[in-house]
Amino acid sequence: MNKRAPLRLYVPEPTGRPGRETDFSYLRLSPAGAVRRPPVDVTPNDTADLAYALVRVLDDDGRALGEWAPQVDAEVLRRGLRAMIRTRTFDARMLMAQRQKKISFYMQCLGEEAIATAHAFALDPGDMCFPTYRQQGLLLARDDVSMVDMMCQLMSNQRDPVRGRQLPVMYSYKRYGFFSISGNLATQFIQAVGWGMASAIKGDTKIASAWIGDGATAEADFHTALTFAHVYRAPVILNVVNNQWAISMFQAIAGGEATTFAARGIGCGIASLRVDGNDFLAVLAASRWAAERARSNLGPTMIEWITYRAGAHSTSDDPSRYRPADDWQHFPLGDPIERLKRHLMAIGAWSESDHEAATREIESEVLAAQKEAERYGTLLDGHIPPLESMFEDVYKTMPPHLHDQLRQAAAA
Ligand SMILES: Cc1ncc(C[n+]2csc(CCOP(=O)(O)OP(=O)(O)O)c2C)c(N)n1
Ligand SMILES: [Mg+2]
């Protein structure tokens, strides 16, 4: 007789659903300032505790606490705050433009602005990011990136810099260290590690920064990237943005329930941190720490950024179907803009009227860029790039077989 109990398959469930408030105690937070900051040459094993804790600098009163509080001028922080407001304002306008059918599709990073903008401040010219569709902040944190160009791509108009070859939001800016976004998730990780390895093989000084979401870590490419990064001590920062959701899938479905995503790094011999992604100062400090490790031949660093995707996954998603409508208001790590604003005000480097003035100024900057971009058309005009453009830019000079195909296509 078989006395064993029948086996059961375990399927993780989110702790909240529409009409049932989320229990965020699953997040395992540490108080601001509580987590130690090891020297950059720490061995990966000696970061094991940091992969389960949460590096935080800003407390609820806007004070910067502990060993991770970065040395940084108030002017840099004001620039950081403006970069976050710029990103949020850009997103809000472009979301509206999509609803007006001027854009076919859009993805915002509402609530996650601190991660890409503060990370951008820790990188050097020539470093290469391999972003996903939610790191527009890497571009919008820079003064030299043209918002008009970004909008022209979104509007699929005559001035679209990638001439219809990419979805809106999938930017490509080699000169700004922003590798062409691929819609195939997790490919960014192996590409970034390979690029970092190539930089080391060439004896260059540039580092790579890889980006992935919680959901996409379930892809095999993620694990392959970790193995290569570890074995060859690739000069790369491995960013996992844990915004709690992968479209309608809760992060536990990708394996974030009984462990952390940062802990994946420890298992692979990679120094790893779990960091408050809504804390601009913590993001800046952890990104600088990881960048210094990469630049000093100390190898890769994995960073899990804890944040919350406050908006819909994309303009094709309706989150009210799978989570409480007011979830973001209860998220314990708050709003990154409000938190940095509170800090700047606490140190006397910002005021309510500065904030209002900056918000107004940025709104008119974004509006002016949109007006300018619309001069070249929007999706509503049905602009289609010329047929030749499909064959151009594949090779530096067009080889004979593409010339032939172009001739055939034009004759068809
Ligand atoms: C390889 C692959 N599988 C599935 C998809 C479809 N898809 C696009 S976004 C997404 C969710 C990704 O979630 P996450 O990695 O957490 O990133 P987030 O959108 O939260 O930033 C999925 C499944 C895809 N683009 N590529
Ligand atoms: Mg996600």
pLDDT per residue, tens digit, the chain (412 aa), is 679 999 999 999 999 999 999 999 999 999 999 999 999 999 999 999 999 999 999 999 999 999 999 999 999 999 999 999 999 999 999 999 999 999 999 999 999 999 999 999 999 999 999 999 999 999 999 999 999 999 999 999 999 999 989 999 999 999 999 999 999 999 999 999 999 999 999 999 999 999 999 999 999 999 999 999 999 999 999 999 999 999 999 999 999 999 999 999 999 999 999 999 999 999 999 999 999 999 999 999 999 999 999 999 999 999 999 999 999 999 999 999 999 999 999 999 999 999 999 999 999 999 999 999 999 999 999 888 889 988 998 899 999 999 999 999 999 8
Chain-centroid distance of CA 161 in Å reads 22
Answer yes or no: is the C-beta of 184 below 6 A from any ligand 1 atom: yes
Spatial separation of the C-alpha atoms in residues 107 and 311, rounded to whole Å? 9
Q: How far is the CA of 167 from the centre of ligand 1 (A)?
A: 15
Q: What's residue 383's pLDDT? A: 86
Q: How far is the CA of 311 from the centre of ligand 2 (A)?
A: 12
- What DSSP element (H or E) covers 407? helix 400-411
Q: What is the DSSP letter of 382?
A: T
To test the ligand 1 pocket, which listed residue (106, 169, 185, 243) has its Cβ within 8 A of the most ligand atoms?
A: 185
Separation of first and last alpha carbons in the chain: 74
Q: What's residue 73's pLDDT? A: 97
Q: Are 254 and 308 in contact (CB under 8 A)?
A: no
Look at residues 93, 99, 98, 160 and name the one whose alpha carbon lies nearest to residue 383: 160
Q: How far is the CA of 266 from the centre of ligand 2 (A)?
A: 21
Q: Which atom belonging to ligand 1 lies closest to the Cα atom of 187?
A: 1
Q: What's residue 1's pLDDT? A: 65
Answer yes or no: is the C-beta of 216 below 6 A from any ligand 1 atom: yes
To test the ligand 1 pocket, which listed residue (182, 247, 253) has its Cβ within 8 A of the most ligand atoms?
A: 247
The residue contributing the CA closest to ligand 1 atom 11 is: 246
Q: How far is the CA of 124 from the centre of ligand 2 (A)?
A: 27
Q: What is the DSSP letter of 54?
A: -
Answer yes or no: is the C-beta of 308 below 6 A from any ligand 1 atom: no
Q: Which atom belonging to ligand 1 lies closest to the Cα atom of 246?
A: 13
Q: Are 85 and 358 in contact (CB under 8 A)?
A: yes
Answer yes or no: is the C-beta of 189 below 6 A from any ligand 1 atom: no
Q: What's residue 394's pLDDT? A: 87
Answer yes or no: is the C-beta of 80 below 6 A from any ligand 1 atom: no
Q: Which atom belonging to ligand 1 lies closest to the Cα atom of 242?
A: 16
Q: Are 141 and 116 in contact (CB under 8 A)?
A: yes
CA angle 350, 351, 357 (to 5 degrees): 100
Tokens for 15, please give them.
Answer: 């702790």
Q: How far is the CA of 328 from the centre of ligand 2 (A)?
A: 14
Q: Which atom belonging to ligand 1 lies closest to the Cα atom of 184?
A: 26
Q: Are 208 and 236 in contact (CB under 8 A)?
A: yes
